[in-house]
């Protein structure tokens, strides 16, 4: 197919892709404990159906130990052509407080050229990008195709990692496209060349056998919540830089956002300063970051006048691409142990680890992607980093060191992923689909040539 034919096919197929995305977003496929399993399995079934509609001859769900099924598909390579693996995930983050959403989280709503709903960007846009790009070829693919769509990336992506380590031939490919990132701004073509790794754990602090009347015992009885607050506050200095020994600030060689762009995208309130030091690219893409993502303490509405015997927190640490998540978490845990006041009893559980990624940007697949993106966006892409983590990527790097791994997608920094009012811009989705379809044709032709 010529580039003009591909672009025409993508444009003609966009209304169908939009309806498919809305149908997928309407399924609350939250694969977190405490949420129902049935919608997650429904999303797997819908994903399987979508991949069949893309002309792939072999499509099936495959069990993943301790997790929800992945959806797998494949089509053999034409003689002499390479094989491309396409990755995305069909599970989503919990919606959170419904009152913070302007439209219902699982009722996809189109407003001013964008589709709002949980998972519209992260990462059901990735699923639809793959499906719509493959439909362009009507079953006559210019490369070999393998597709794996994960079912529990947001909560326990390390389980698919273990599956891939045990079944490498299933996903072996010359090039791997991970459609779970995006551009800093809509219309700003970018390829993600680095990902921070991550680690997470739950900390529990105990000081008393049971809660005590704050009037009778406050002032002498050690408060577990106060102890935990002191410990968490000790992780950063007054500038917001990390105080944990052995976690230095890193350097990102490319350009990051300006402070004005970042403040606008992040919604930082007037008069509130940013935290940390170094360039924004350094802080966001190449340095450690520690975030308290949850607390188990009495709510304000349910508060009673009591000294607390126990308090818990969930702590997430982002790790630079070259850093080791295991030793990083060990350093943070050791530091928290050392700063625990009053001899409080401290324990750590529920560890999660995921490695980072740093790509090679000079291969034939990246060159083909550059040409495809330039056609789709009108200018060549630039390299950017991502502060988030995709657990599977580091496993793919270890398993297939010769394969090129390309990260791009329809998300953008203002898409509100993991937050209320998540959205994907329809034109950005179209350009992502077009980029992938053009890449598959360009890469297949260049390799055959």
Residues known to be catalytic: 91, 153
Per-residue buried b or exposed e for 60-74, using 16+ beta carbons within 10 Å of the residue's own CB: ebeebeebbbbbbbb
Q: What share of the chain is helix, strand, coil (3-state, %, to 5)?
A: 35, 25, 40
Whether the upstream peptide bond of residue 123 has omega within 30° of 0, thus cis, is yes
- Which residue's structure tokens are 């909560």? 155
Residues for the chain: how many in total? 449
Closest CA to 335 of 381, 288, 374, 396: 288
Which residues are CB-neighbours of 207 under 8 A, at least 6 positions away? 221, 222, 223, 224, 227, 308, 309, 310, 342, 344, 345
What is the strand order of the sheet 109-111 is part of?
109-111, 114-116, 423-425
Distances (CA, A) of 176 to 10, 22, 307, 396: 21, 26, 54, 9
- The residues facing 114 across adjacent strands are 111, 425
Closest CA to 430 of 84, 9, 138: 9
**CA quadruple 33, 36, 37, 39: dihedral sign:** negative
Alpha helices in 284-406 (DSSP H): 325-339, 364-377, 391-399
Give the side-chain half-sphere CA count within 13 A for 284. Answer: 19
Per-residue buried b or exposed e for 123-149, using 16+ beta carbons within 10 Å of the residue's own CB: bbbbbbbbbbbbbbbeeebbbbbbbbb
User: In this structure, are residues 244 and 331 in contact, taking their beta carbons and an 8 Å threshold?
Assistant: yes
Q: Phi, psi at residue 334, to the nearest 5°?
A: -60, -40
């Amino acid at each position: 197919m010529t580039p003009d034919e591909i672009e025409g096919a993508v444009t003609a197929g966009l209304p169908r892709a939009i309806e498919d995305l809305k149908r997928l977003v309407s399924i609350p496929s939250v694969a977190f404990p405490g949420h129902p399993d049935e919608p997650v399995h429904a999303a797997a079934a819908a994903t399987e159906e979508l991949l069949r509609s893309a002309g792939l001859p072999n499509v099936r769900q495959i069990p993943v130990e301790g997790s929800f099924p992945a959806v797998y598909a494949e089509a053999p390579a034409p003689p002499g052509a390479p094989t491309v693996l396409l990755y995305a995930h069909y599970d989503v983050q919990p919606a959170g407080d419904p009152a913070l959403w302007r439209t219902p989280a699982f009722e996809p709503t189109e407003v001013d050229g964008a589709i709002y709903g949980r998972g519209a960007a992260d990462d059901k846009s990735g699923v639809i990008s793959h499906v719509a790009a493959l439909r362009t070829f009507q079953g006559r693919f210019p490369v070999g195709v393998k597709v794996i769509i994960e079912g529990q990336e947001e909560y326990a992506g390390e389980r698919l990692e273990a599956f891939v380590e045990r079944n490498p031939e299933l996903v072996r490919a010359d090039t791997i496209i991970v459609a779970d990132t995006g551009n800093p701004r809509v219309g700003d073509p970018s390829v993600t060349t680095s990902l921070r790794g991550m680690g997470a754990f739950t900390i529990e602090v105990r000081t008393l056998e049971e809660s005590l009347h704050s009037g009778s015992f406050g002032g002498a009885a050690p408060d577990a919540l106060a102890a935990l607050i002191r410990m968490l506050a000790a992780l950063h200095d007054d500038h917001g830089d990390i105080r944990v020994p052995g976690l230095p600030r890193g350097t990102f060689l490319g350009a990051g956002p300006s402070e004005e762009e970042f403040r606008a995208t992040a919604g930082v309130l007037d008069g509130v300063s940013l935290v940390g030091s170094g360039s924004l690219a350094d802080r966001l893409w190449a340095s450690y970051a520690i975030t308290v993502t949850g607390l188990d303490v009495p709510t304000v509405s349910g508060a009673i006048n009591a000294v607390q015997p126990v308090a818990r927190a969930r702590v997430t640490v982002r790790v630079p691409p070259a850093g080791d998540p295991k030793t990083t978490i060990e350093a943070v845990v050791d530091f928290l142990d050392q700063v625990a006041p009053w001899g409080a009893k401290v324990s750590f559980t529920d560890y999660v680890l995921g490695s980072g990624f740093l790509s090679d940007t000079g291969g034939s697949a990246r060159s083909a992607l550059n040409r495809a993106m330039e056609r789709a966006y009108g200018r060549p892409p630039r390299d950017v980093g991502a502060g988030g983590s995709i657990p599977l990527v580091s496993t793919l790097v270890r398993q297939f060191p010769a394969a090129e791994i390309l990260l791009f997608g329809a998300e953008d920094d203002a898409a509100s992923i993991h937050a209320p009012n998540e959205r994907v811009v329809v034109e950005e989705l179209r350009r992502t689909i077009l980029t992938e379809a053009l890449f598959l044709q360009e890469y297949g032709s260049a390799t055959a040539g």
